[in-house]
Structure 1
Amino acid sequence: MATPIFKITPTVQQYDWGKLGLSSKVAQFATAAGLADFVVDDSSPYAELWMGTHPKSPSVVPSIGKPLSQCLNKNPTLIGEAVIKKFSSEDGNLPFLFKVLAIEKALSIQSHPDLETAKVLHTQQPDIYKDPNHKPEMALALTPFTALCGFLPLPQIAAYLSVTPEFAALVTPSIAKRFNLAAASADLDAEAKQALKDVFSAVMTAEETEFKAQLKALVARYQAGNERDEERDVKDLVLKLDEQFPGDIGIFCVYLLNYVKLQPGEAIFLGAGEPHAYVSGDIMECMANSDNVIRAGLTPKLRDIPNLVSTLTYTAAPATKHRVQPSPFPGASTYSTLYDPPIPEFSVVQVVVPAEHHESHPALEGPSIAIVTEGNGSVSWGGKSDSLELSKGEVFFVSADLAATFTAVGEGLVVYRAFVEA
């Protein structure tokens, strides 16, 4: 490429759970950036904006009309020798995939396989698990965002078993007894993990006639206002999910998983084998470069309950375990905030530059993809002798080993930058 920073064209995914029309930030960004042939339909859902090199929906370099991966393959210095060596990126594929998600309806109860499991699933079922990579991911809230995230501490699940008879009816007395004994212990040892697995498996494999009857009774009880004190935090969620997915077994996961509510700027990380379901809101999402999902509920798509049950970690902990604590971005001033999850494939930095100010980032060892979510400005490099004008919705690539300066005009500039370093 002639320049080390250049614009790329993302792709839009329309899934049933996406927000409709311009209520979706995906549609807002695609419209503001002037994506070719993109016309908003107010009655259609716009769920995801993909930015990266995943073969399912790769970004394109508009100046040459070719996929980003082809460009990087021919210009390996843009990725950087260290990243290419560490992540086997000789083919031009980045180790991460960056997205915007706009969630109106809950996504499925799901998890993502670890690397070894992903390879096995891809070999056994390549039509379902279409790549051999793992998919740890981070969700960073752009708007108020809710999700089910990781298993609740065992005493909280035990409390639900004692006060929610419809939930308890899906678990045999012997399984419930072993679980309650485990919940009373302070240690989450192998025996406790097995007890949690037994409860989760019993719920997710319950006979359809049984769980639908219990769910109908549960919804009727909540609609009548007869919830117990311990159920009040999840009552509205149960009713909402039943409206979206009537009669779905996944609704009972509200008694097994943490219900988290994030404000803009807050983030959660989900490693391999952690059950979750995003419920509502707009987020930036970054993950390893994969599209592997094991689903088990709240979805019209294929459910793979055996693989979900067998591959979860069964780590039970408060939702704070999954929080990503932001920190200052090294080498920058007060306008950049780093979100650095405990995996090597990616980190994300939020850049919020006030009007007529600028923010300089040091050279990073690996490449970046960034999107403007608010405002206008520019990014410059090479001693500011070269620059690229930026506006809301535009997506651009930043080469490895390149310092860059972001300058805001008008009302300011907000950029989210995903990057990898070796």
Structure 2
Amino acid sequence: MGQEHGANEKMEQMEPPWDKNMKKKRKRIHRPVRLRCSVKNYDWGIFGRNSKVARLFALNSGSDIDSGRPYAEFWIGTHESGPSYADSGSEPLSLKAWISQDPSVLGDKVVDKWGADLPFLFKVLSVGKALSIQAHPDKELARVLHKSHPSVYRDDNHKPEMALALTEFEALCGFISVKELKDMLNSVPEIAELVVVADAERILLGSEHHENWNAKTDIESIFTRLMLLSKDTIADMISRLKRRLNLEKKKRLLTVKEQLVLRLESQYPDDVGAIAAFFLNYVKLNRGEAISLGPNEPHAYISGECIECMATSDNVVRAGLTSKPLDVQTLLSMLKYRQGSPEIMQGVSLNPYTTRYLPPFEEFEVDCCNIPRSASVVFPSVLGPSLFLFTAGKGHFDAGLSEDDIVVEGDDLVEEGEVFFVPANTKISITAKSTELQLYRVGVNSRFFRDL
């Protein structure tokens, strides 16, 4: 693809004459640019070629896959913790710097709202073992945390996010319902011991006998008590829990949650996060299903691979199932104790090959597109920027760029591992070549433009 938008050069065109009808000069035309992206080798990733992240990164960067290393996250965006680079000249230029040369590639409305930066961060995750029980701060708390601990909380932005399953994907998300809380206190004596008799009676009887009963306060109280226990007390609690469950599984089939807790403890021995899993909803997503997570909502990803999209932030407050630094007090102070299972998003069909996922956040939306051999899909021009990631197959990527009566065609061969930044107001046509072509597009939530 001819990349006229380079680090040290700009696209030059002959100045068109004055249009006597429009009384203005035509604007410069922007073209898509290929990106080289970053990888994270966290210990919870999937090893070697078994990792989708490893395969995408190797194809994107031209590097080899190390079979002895875990590959966890493939980052696409402008965040300084894992920047992408514009493949548009002799010298590497970060996507953020490339955008800053001409912020109009973002579209006027995006620049007015978020400045000269992408409002979203796009990732692929390969989860081999559980990653931390965590939550992300809202904007107000993010500013406080970044100011007080900038080395830990790298930015001052919130981080609402969405996970879209590429494979069967397991997660913990939000607090269990009132009924499940009662069942847990009846079936998990190790946790029931944390609750005084009077409180246990009130919880188990509930609103039928206590008009001032508050389920939110009860689950907050018990969860807080658990998370603040000493390491020795947690180790003893887990030891007794394991001994009991190992005896009981000889007589009965353990529940899904009991099996999960034993699995988490085997990955992170004596970790309070294994017990904390009893308090959180267990969710299993099939490929093509998604969940969204707002600020201050507790969650943990357990296994599988997914597309993850979020506001441009890397702020994570952790409290278990990790070797990284914990901030339990902050997490407990920020959590929302909303109870009940999360909504599973199926997406909305845009055409026979494309499904759109619209979370309740204005920063982003995600399109999943599977194009059969020789078929084509057109992505109409939109008022904001887009990122395109090709995850399987081969095809043609055609940017039909128009400005008044000028049309510029740019046709590229694309395949797995390729990533493009597409400027605002750019129509894209994609055709599958030899096999089915699979891709994901991330852009600013279309509701943002409708609501203006």
Same fold (TM over 0.5): yes
Q: Which residue of 2 aligns with 1:211?
A: 234
Task: Indicate yes or no: 2:331 matched with 1:304.
Answer: no
From 61, 78, 95, give the equivalent of 2:86. 61
Cα distance per residue 1:221-271 (max 9 Å; x no partner): 222334897951212211211110011000112211010111110100010
String of CA shifts for 1:313-348, please: whole Å, max 9, x gaps.
1000123x3x2230023xxx3111000000100000
- Letter paired with 2:235: K
Which residue matches 2:25?
A: none
Q: Following TM superposition, by how much is the alpha carbon of 1:295 offset from its aligned partner in structure 2, in angstroms?
A: 0.3
Q: Distance in 2 between matches of 1:48 and 1:398?
A: 22
Q: Which moved more, 1:133-142 or 1:209-218?
A: 209-218
How many pairs align?
Answer: 411
* Residue in structure 1 matched with residue 398 of structure 2 by the alignment: 380
User: CA contact under 8 A between 2:288 and 2:346: conserved in structure 1?
Assistant: no
**Which structure has the larger Rg over C-alpha atoms?**
2
What is the match of residue 32 of structure 1?
59
**Is the Cα–Cα contact under 8 Å of residues 52 and 96 in structure 1 kept in the other structure?**
yes
- The structure-2 alpha-carbon separation of the partners of 1:72 and 1:186, relative to structure 1 and needing over 3 Å to count, comes to farther
Q: Deviations over 1:149-200 (max 9, x none)?
A: 111112101211111111222344455345445576999x993322221111
- 1:135 corresponds to 2:156: no
Structure 1 residues 105 and 184, CA, compared in 2 at 3 Å: closer, same or farther? Answer: farther
1:43 aligns with 2:82: no
2:269 corresponds to which residue? 246
Matched residues, percent identical?
39
Q: Distance in 2 between matches of 1:116 and 1:228?
A: 51
The 3 A distance-change label for structure 1 pair 191 and 82 is same
Could you say if the C-alpha distance between residues 346 and 161 of structure 1 is closer, same or farther in structure 2, counting changes exceeding 3 Å?
same
SS in structure 1 of the partner of residue 325 of structure 2? coil
**Structure 1 residues 85, 166: CA separation in 2 closer, same or farther (over 3 Å shift)?**
same
Aligned mate of 1:150, from 174, 184, 189: 174
Is 1:17 aligned to 2:19, yes or no? no
Which of the numbers 370, 380, 384 marks the counterpart of 1:366? 384
The residue that corresponds to 1:394 in the other structure is 418
RMSD: 2.1
Aligned equivalent of 1:169: 193
**Aligned partners of 2:250 and 2:185: how far apart in 1?**
14
1:98 and 2:122 are equivalent in the alignment:
yes
**In structure 2, do the counterparts of structure 1 residues 230 and 258 end up closer, same or farther at CA, with 3 Å as the change threshold?**
farther
Q: What is the match of residue 108 of structure 1?
A: 132
Helix, strand or coil for the counterpart of 1:155? Answer: helix
One-letter amino acid of the counterpart of residue 376, structure 2? H
Question: Judging changes above 3 Å, is the alpha-carbon distance between structure 1 residues 284 and 227 closer, same or farther for their aligned structure 2 residues?
Answer: farther
Aligned-pair CA distance for 1:208: 2.2
Shift, 1:279, TM fit? 0.1
What's the secondary structure of 1:382's corresponding residue? strand
Map 1:312-351 onto structure 2 (within 5 A): 312-319=335-342, 321=343, 323-329=344-350, 333-351=351-369
Offset at residue 385 of structure 1 (A)? 2.4
AA matched with 1:379: F
Q: 1:227 to 1:59 in 2, by over 3 A?
A: farther
- 2:26 maps to none
Q: Aligned to 1:352, what secondary structure does the other structure show?
A: strand
Distance 1:190 1:348, change over 3 A: farther
Alignment partner, residue 257 of structure 2: 234
Listed one character per residue, the Cα deviations across residues 106-135 of structure 1 (whole Å, up to 9, x for unaligned) are 000000011111111111221211110000
Q: Which residue number in structure 1 is paired with residue 21 of structure 2?
A: none
Q: Are residues 1:84 and 2:111 paired?
A: yes
| Counterpart secondary structure, 1:116 | helix
Quickly say closer, same or farther: Cα 1:177–1:202, change in 2 above 3 A. farther
| 3-state DSSP of counterpart to 1:224 | helix
Please give the secondary structure, in 2, of the residue aligned with 1:389. strand
Q: Which deviations, in whole Å up to 9, do the C-alpha atoms of 1:50-97 show, x marking residues without a partner?
A: 00000112100122210001111112221011101012x23xx20000
Contact kept, 8 Å, 2:167 with 2:286, in 1: the verdict is yes
Query: Where do 5+ consecutive residues of structure 1 fail to align?
Result: none
Partner of 2:427: 403
Moved more, 61-70 or 353-362: 61-70
Alpha-carbon offset, residue 309 of structure 1: 0.7
Superposition TM-score, scaled by structure 1 size = 0.92
Q: Secondary structure at the match of 1:201?
A: helix
Distance 1:202-1:355 versus aligned 2 partners, 3 A rule: same
Q: Deviations over 1:255-302 (max 9, x none)?
A: 110101111101000101110000000100000000000100001111
C-alpha displacement of 1:6: 1.6
| AA at the equivalent of 2:310 | M
Q: 1-side partners of 2:420 and 2:250: how far apart?
A: 50
In structure 2, what is the equivalent of residue 287 of structure 1?
310
Distance in 2 separating the partners of 1:121 and 1:181: 40
Unaligned runs of 5+ in 2: 6-10, 12-29, 402-407
Q: Secondary structure at the match of 2:434?
A: strand
Range with greater deviation from structure 2 (178-187 or 39-48): 178-187
| Structure 2 counterpart of 1:55, one-letter code | E
* Structure 2 residue identity aligned to 1:346: F
Kept in 2, the 8 Å contact 1:9–1:395? The answer is yes
